[in-house]
Structure 1
């Protein structure tokens, strides 16, 4: 009986997240709150931990303080069993420069791989919302004999230009071509209206990954990107396999949320992903206890719903409300509310995402908005109701009409 393979996890969390501004004005993209009490990084780490990985590093760079703090306070593993999840900032080991790409981040952090001496390295991104059992992908990788395996998720052919697309050879299990945002992609053999889009999740034989990133580091023309440079390196050598997410069976998943994967790199996609959480039968189910999404255990009292000072009764419909929040005579509908939110009498919150420690004054109205932490609405104030006024006040408003208010802003009536 052969010894089990030693597997090491690397999460690439250095993304700046410009398209999520102003939510990333003071934090790295993977540290952006999501779903009330989580941060985006929690989905990546939870998937690896639930899959049995016990040695995981998170490579950070851009405005990483809150991300580093969250990881150190939340993801405390047993040192007795040599288990850890730890953040590793850019160390400038190859000169006085920052990471110039995701592949360069691994190259500059090669000491981490050398110290652990794994057989296999799992490399994933930090800013997608999904569940995945990586044990199944690991088994497929080992059985295939490929040096690299790329996870793919089926997406409509019409959206091919938004993704890196895997041109798959179903007879060999290998990748024929890796196409970066193609405008003329062909559909899959068994589903002509779909393509196999890269999820940004990779599994490598450790020695092959080391050789690839070292060769990439010496190339003056490389963009030093995992998808744009490292995957094509293996494809050209005939050593890149693919894994169809359709095969992945996550414990506790239902036909409705099976194979859910959402890139939340824009304000609109971030907002839409929250909409996926709140229906009676959600497209993405946070309440799957067989594959839990772990996060920091907040020491807070339960959420509370009370009449306001004049006896008005509030209600909450198709919404998520986090610990510590108190809603007094508030109408809440189709929204996600973060911890320690206070909403005054007669206020209305609809179709919105509210981060932690937000104060919504009496009679205020919030509609189709994202409010960052510590935002305060004066009594009778509005946001998301008048597009022109929101723009005049310096708020971000997307073309679809979602208003975003940055951290700590006071909104006058």
Structure 2
């Protein structure tokens, strides 16, 4: 069954509300849950569904994404036949209304025409979920659907099942039909049989800084992690050789996800701490997301904040955001104690 399915991941979509986290990376490469990237969830879902050939369509900037995925070996996709294929387009005019630019597909039509898989799964890159797509394909075939759209809680997830031959036809006739992507097709006037498959488990859409922060806080709940991180369906990611985290005297940790290689001397509550983060003595980090290699000095207070990669917080600094407006510190910047008053006022 799984050998019938071709995986297509659209990593070209951009959201202006995520600009604070995508200035140096694509949306799909945003770190999440301490040690993962957003691409890991849809990619692992496809791998766990038995899909062996996947096309990743992306646009600039994609260096961070390619560095993370490399040859695809961590997902068992570095193989002689099939595997992971990259189709970057630095100057793609991305249709923000829908997933799967037919223009981008047309530029790489050889991939689809050479594929032996009868069906194609077109998926977005901004949904955090752990889905086995095989039951959806079974329903699609059983009902004789032309297009199956995957839903969650009554809302579309911008994921589509379609015959590969039909997808090729839709791409090649786009000039006559006016369809630019799959959403145009499902919303258009046509004779296709459209079906809906309702996904019952957790699925989170990230399309803004606020939704990224909210989903990160949801991941601190045991019930959510139990649904997403399954022994039988693991979420794969890039493996890094790093030492265990060191909890020095005075460190206090409560309800937090802590990745490898950290040095903790302060207090961490209800937060996600990524790899190689340092938190100094007397510092308190609450309700926050701290990305890789951040350094937080002594006697700091970080509350309701997102610190991007390689941020340095000087001793005595206070950064306070809110649940609806988390304080975002851009990648590689320095935040000092002299900015405290301005920072707090701006985040109230």
TM-score, normalised via structure 1 length = 0.75
Correspondence 1:320 to 2:319: no
Query: 1:100: Cα distance to partner?
Result: 3.8
Secondary structure, counterpart of 1:21 in structure 2: helix
Counterpart for residue 360 of structure 1: 296
Counterpart for residue 225 of structure 1: 181
What residue ranges of structure 1 are gaps of 5+ in the alignment?
92-96, 155-195, 247-258, 308-312, 386-397
Retained in 2: the 8 A contact 1:315–1:331? Answer: yes
Counterpart for residue 17 of structure 1: 15
Cα separation, 1, equivalents of 2:137 and 2:310: 42
The 1:362–1:286 alpha-carbon spacing in structure 2 relative to 1, beyond 3 Å, is farther
| Offset from partner CA, 1:143-200 (integer Å, 9 cap, x none) | 111111111111xxxxxxxxxxxxxxxxxxxxxxxxxxxxxxxxxxxxxxxxx21111
Answer with 1 or 2: which has the greater Rg: 1
Q: How does 1:277-356 map to 2 (within 5 A)?
A: 277-282=219-224, 285-307=227-249, 313-328=250-265, 330-356=266-292
Cα separation, 2, equivalents of 1:274 and 1:260: 13
Cα separation, 2, equivalents of 1:279 and 1:147: 38
Cα separation, 2, equivalents of 1:5 and 1:345: 54
Cα separation, 1, equivalents of 2:225 and 2:69: 27
Counterpart for residue 49 of structure 1: 47
Cα separation, 1, equivalents of 2:77 and 2:158: 28
Cα separation, 1, equivalents of 2:56 and 2:168: 18
Query: 1:292: Cα distance to partner?
Result: 0.9
Cα separation, 1, equivalents of 2:61 and 2:48: 28
TM-score, normalised via structure 2 length = 0.89
User: How large is the RMSD of aligned CA atoms in angstroms?
Assistant: 2.1
Cα separation, 2, equivalents of 1:7 and 1:136: 12
Counterpart for residue 170 of structure 1: none
Higher helix share: 2
What residue ranges of structure 2 are gaps of 5+ in the alignment?
338-348
Correspondence 1:412 to 2:298: no
Secondary structure, counterpart of 2:46 in structure 1: helix
Residue 377 of structure 1, aligned match among 306, 310, 313 = 313
Secondary structure, counterpart of 1:300 in structure 2: coil
Cα separation, 2, equivalents of 1:117 and 1:214: 19
Query: 1:314: Cα distance to partner?
Result: 1.8
Counterpart for residue 344 of structure 2: none
Matched residues, number? 331
Counterpart for residue 115 of structure 2: 116
Query: 1:355: Cα distance to partner?
Result: 0.5
The 1:399–1:278 alpha-carbon spacing in structure 2 relative to 1, beyond 3 Å, is closer
